[in-house]
Amino acid sequence: SNFFALIPAAGSGSRMGNELPKQYLSLAGKPMIYHALRRLCGSDRLRGVIVVLAPDDSEWARHDWSEFSDKLVVIHCGGGTRAQSVLNGLEAVRRTSSIADADWVLVHDAARPCLSERQLDKLMDELADDEVGGLLAVPVADTLKRSDNSSRVERTESRESLWQAQTPQMFRYKLLVEALSMTGGTVMTDDAGAVEALGLHPKLVLSDARNLKVTYPQDMALAELILGNSD
């Protein structure tokens, strides 16, 4: 089976508080999504990279993406949620590309620009023979507090066995479509959550904090620092 990547990039970046969606904000001199594209398109093991944009996206076309043209499939079919954007992309690509039920799809956020080659390879190495699939993740490092409704500590939660989910999240095409098709209504902020809802147990592949997600304005400087220190 082949490996494909899919980048959902149809969000509005509301927590960044910028008019321009964060996937296009300038990071180390490039639109943020460029960095994820470079990493994924640069992997010999990935046959194609699918980018899912909002239907009314007008920013993508302002940039030159020709260096990635041998692998890139760009579809303007984003939905109202991340899960819907991923599902729309998977269904659209079925009609246009030669992707098979058993092929692996690595779903990776446009907002995670610092994914390293090592992390990407480790994910594929550890899951290539897996029954279910899985995701990059890191054990929680901070102490966790549960609050009441007035920002007072109700209790301290044990962080034992708790992990922070990252992307890429890697599942076989058919399972991912099946899982995401069933999520309707429930809030799923990642792909593994949809697979878990089928009663399956995705594998956690140890990553590290450098593969951060840019969510708030203050995340930009850290992402640039990490990019500057990597290969």
Given the rule CB under 6 A, which residues bind ligand CTP? 8-15, 21, 23, 52, 78-82, 85, 109-111, 213, 215
Per residue, what are the HEC states of 9-50? ECCCCHHHCCCCCHHHCEECCEEHHHHHHHHHHCCCCEEEEE
In the bound complex, which residue of the shown chain has the CB atom lying closest to ligand CTP? 11
The least distance separating ligand CTP from the CB of residue 24, rounded to whole angstroms, comes to: 10
Of 80 and 228, CB closest to ligand CTP:
80
| Those residues with Cβ within 8 angstroms of residue 84's Cβ, 6 or more apart along the chain or in another chain | 78, 180
The number of angstroms, rounded, from the C-alpha of 93 to the middle of its chain's C-alpha atoms is 17
CB of 203 to ligand CTP, least distance (A): 21
For residues 50, 53, 58, 63, the Cα torsion angle rounded to the nearest 10 degrees is -30
- Give 17 or 29: the residue with its C-beta nearer to ligand CTP: 17
Q: Give me the least distance between CB of 154 and ligand CTP, in Å please.
A: 26
Identify which of residues 73 and 130 has a Cβ nearer to ligand CTP in the complex: 73
Nearer to ligand CTP, 158 or 189 (CB): 189
- Min dist CB 213 to ligand CTP, Å, is 6
What 3-state DSSP class applies to 91? helix
Query: Does residue 217 have a cis bond before it (omega within 30 degrees)?
Result: no
CB of 164 to ligand CTP, least distance (A): 13
What are the C-alpha distances in Å from 191 to residues 43, 85, 127, 149?
A: 22, 11, 15, 29
CB-wise, 11 or 133, nearer to ligand CTP? 11
